[in-house]
Structure 1
Amino acid sequence: MRKVSHILDSKGRRVISVPQEAPVLEVIRLMAEHHIGAVLVMRGPELIGIATERDYARKVILQGRSSAETPVSTIMSSPVVCVSPEDSITACMELVTERRIRHLPVREGDAVVGLISIGDLVRMVIEEQQQEIQQLQQYIAS
């Protein structure tokens, strides 16, 4: 069974983060620049929240707030649901489905070592299924 560490090994462990006082406009620019849907909100090395495109739509746009003047701490989701590199892909799929979230920060102890998305999880499940199908086809053919 594949684990979160397998996703991080293939996609990398780069994490885009901002301090809690960063304006929402800066956060949205970072998301656009890096083609991502979420940014971690940090207080020094401590993970204190996550800001997503969904948070922006619901807590800035719909409430008529100013993107340039609103600090990200106002709209971030907190506490953050996290996983470890040793968690299974299946457990993560269940977690995002149950909690209705799309991004999972990955922690080893107190350190954030990556961020995975529902897209990363789906991609890994598809790869696993394709490998299993190939193995079964080879077994049947032999």
Structure 2
Amino acid sequence: MTMQTVREVMTTSVVYLPSETTLAEAARTMREQDIGDVVVADGPELTGVVTDRDIVVRAVAERCDPAATTIGEIVSTGLVTVHPDDSIHSAALLMRDQAVRRVLVCDDNQGLVGIVSIGDLAEEIDPESVLGGISKASPNT
């Protein structure tokens, strides 16, 4: 049996936004794209990742104005990456060790090629688990 790779489960449609994007606009983009994160990039340089949870915990809970606060002000800059050919098990262990829910998938030649979430891995590693079941369910609207 061959080990399943990150390439087989990653999301390849990565959404990039510049750091000056407001939280309100980033949230609308996430809603429209049905995603929970955006990659913050100014030109070719990746700054970090902002998640829907970041917007809530780092901004809304602190009473920041979503129309005036930018994603650059709350971005997580400690990028955790995996290679597309890494096993999904090694990616899950890395997520556990780094206490992150998403990792960027970077190829040596192409740079950023995707994102993999803990939900993506749960669906593959243990689809009968509670997390696997939740991840497969249709999103709330």
Match of residue 139 from structure 1: none
Match of residue 136 from structure 2: none
- Distance in 1, matches of 2:78 and 2:48, equals 6
- Distance in 2, matches of 1:105 and 1:93, equals 13
One-letter amino acid of the counterpart of residue 5, structure 1:
R
Query: Superposition RMSD on alpha carbons, in Å?
Result: 1.4
CA contact (8 A) 1:24 1:71 kept: yes
One-letter amino acid of the counterpart of residue 50, structure 1:
V
TM-score calculated relative to the size of structure 2: 0.82
63-72 or 106-115, which moves further after superposition? 106-115
Match of residue 118 from structure 2: 118
Identity of aligned residues (%): 33
CA contact (8 A) 1:96 1:102 kept: yes
Question: Rg: which structure is higher?
Answer: 1
Match of residue 138 from structure 1: none
Counting only pairs closer than 5 Å after superposition, residues 32-51 of structure 1 correspond to structure 2 as: 32-51=31-50
Which of 1, 4, 10 aligns to 1:2? It is: 4
SS in structure 1 of the partner of residue 63 of structure 2: coil
Query: Which sections of structure 2, spanning at least 5 residues, go unmatched?
Result: 128-141
Structure 1 runs of 4+ aligned residues shifted over 3 Å read none
SS in structure 2 of the partner of residue 66 of structure 1: coil
Query: Which sections of structure 1, spanning at least 5 residues, go unmatched?
Result: 128-142
Question: How many residues in Structure 1 have an aligned counterpart in Structure 2?
Answer: 124
